[in-house]
A and B are shown apart, each in its own frame.
Chain A
Amino acid sequence: MARARLLVPVWLELFCILLLGGGLSVAMNMARETPLPWVIDFAAMDRSDALRKGLEAVDAHGARIMLGKPGVVFLDARTPEEFAMGHVAGAKNLPQETMYGDLDAAAKVLGLTVEDRIMIYCGNLLCDKSKELAEALRTAGYPYITVITDGYEGWMAAGGPTEGGI
């Protein structure tokens, strides 16, 4: 005897999967102690992250207008190898690891003064080196510090001038 078999159309299978996944995500997000917003304001998150640490923050677009202004120094918190692969035009390299040694001496070698407006960046949105180094520098007595939240990748995406690298 032939077995009767109900074959659900593929589109209906896909629809059910999407509906189940969507429904579960909504339900589970509501069940979270602090539900994650469905539209995340990343710019505000970057700013609040830096502000919580008492630092000023801008994105690469905002930082571009500071390039070349007197008293403004761009500081690259990445490793010398990464720095050599390409960096913001005119930037100086102060690897974040320096903060575990004599940071003040290292900063003086680079010619930084406490009057300088220091713009610090690292690789991208996810890196923390810029924020960590910024905190350390502020503790070391450099008050005018700004973190470029989206880092070197943001800088390149914003069409900022670079040097070094290929």
Chain B
Amino acid sequence: MRVVYFLLRFALGCVFLAAAWDKIVDPLAFAKIVRNYQILPELLVGGVAQVLPWIEVVVGMCLITGLFPRGASFSATLMMAVFLAAMAWAKHKGISTQCGCFTTKADDAISARTFIRDGSILALALLVAVDSFLRAKRA
């Protein structure tokens, strides 16, 4: 079970690192996508677009190394839930925007595919989080 837990955590960490890369390379493009969701006030868009990818990096690194396992898996779950809610909001409002999930380029529009992909990552994060908390309780 230990190996399975490690593999799941490692995989989730890699997903978060991969997701952060494009946003760090082109923060302005990511900021435009965040703005296009029309959820945050414009004052906050720049800050969120810069801090969020680095939180993803830290969470990804923590998941891979096993440092702060509960904090990292909880953050991962929370972020995925927020991302999914934001996509659902955009879909509901009829805003045709880029997902801004893994790339800032214009080929990742919100669709059933992005919902299934992010939903699966949320399920994975939830699994890792539950396991991390249970392990900490047993320790």
Q: Is the CB of B139 within 8 A of A14?
A: no
Of residues 12 through 33 on chain A, the ones whose CB sits less than 8 Å from some CB of chain B are: 12-14, 16-18, 20-22, 24-25, 28-29
Q: Is the CB of A17 within 8 A of B75?
A: yes
In whole angstroms, what is the CA distance A149 to B99 when docked? Answer: 21
Q: Which residues of A contact B68 (CB under 8 A)?
A: 8, 13, 16-17
B62 within 8 A of A: yes
In whole angstroms, what is the CA distance A153 to B95 when docked? Answer: 7
A40 in complex: contacting residue of B36, B42, B56, B106, CB < 8 Å: B42
Q: Is the CB of B72 within 8 A of A17?
A: yes
Q: Kindly specify which of A95-103, A112-120, A121-129 makes contact with the partner chain.
A: A121-129
Q: Which residues of A contact B96 (CB under 8 A)?
A: 123-124, 153
* Closest Cβ–Cβ distance, residue A31 to chain B (whole Å): 11
In whole angstroms, what is the CA distance A30 to B98 when docked? Answer: 27
Q: Is the CB of B139 within 8 A of A5?
A: yes
B33 within 8 A of A: yes
Q: Which residues of B contact A111 (CB under 8 A)?
A: none
* Closest Cβ–Cβ distance, residue B106 to chain A (whole Å): 8
Q: Is the CB of B55 within 8 A of A21?
A: yes
Size class of the contact patch on chain A: 20 to 34
A65 within 8 A of B: no
In whole angstroms, what is the CA distance A36 to B27 when docked? Answer: 8
Q: Is the CB of B50 within 8 A of A36?
A: yes
1/0 per residue A116-153: CB within 8 Å of B? 00000001111000000000000000000000000001
B45 within 8 A of A: yes
Given contacts A24-B57, A39-B43, A126-B33, contact A7 B136 (CB under 8 A): yes
Q: Is the CB of A125 within 8 A of B35?
A: yes
* Closest Cβ–Cβ distance, residue B105 to chain A (whole Å): 11
In whole angstroms, what is the CA distance A22 to B47 when docked? Answer: 10
In whole angstroms, what is the CA distance A20 to B68 when docked? Answer: 12
Q: Is the CB of B97 within 8 A of A40?
A: no
A164 within 8 A of B: no
Q: Is the CB of A13 within 8 A of B72?
A: yes
B11 within 8 A of A: no
B51 within 8 A of A: yes
Q: Which residues of B contact A36 (CB under 8 A)?
A: 27-28, 31, 46, 49-50
> 6 A-B residue contacts at CB 8 Å?
A10-B71, A17-B75, A24-B58, A37-B46, A38-B50, A40-B35
Binding site for A on B (CB under 8 A): 24, 27-28, 31-33, 35-36, 38, 42-43, 45-47, 49-51, 53-59, 62, 68, 70-72, 74-75, 94-98, 106, 136, 139
16 extra A-B contacts, CB within 8 A, seeds A17-B72, A24-B54, A38-B47: A10-B70, A13-B71, A13-B72, A17-B55, A17-B59, A21-B57, A22-B54, A25-B51, A29-B50, A38-B46, A40-B42, A40-B46, A42-B32, A124-B36, A153-B95, A157-B38
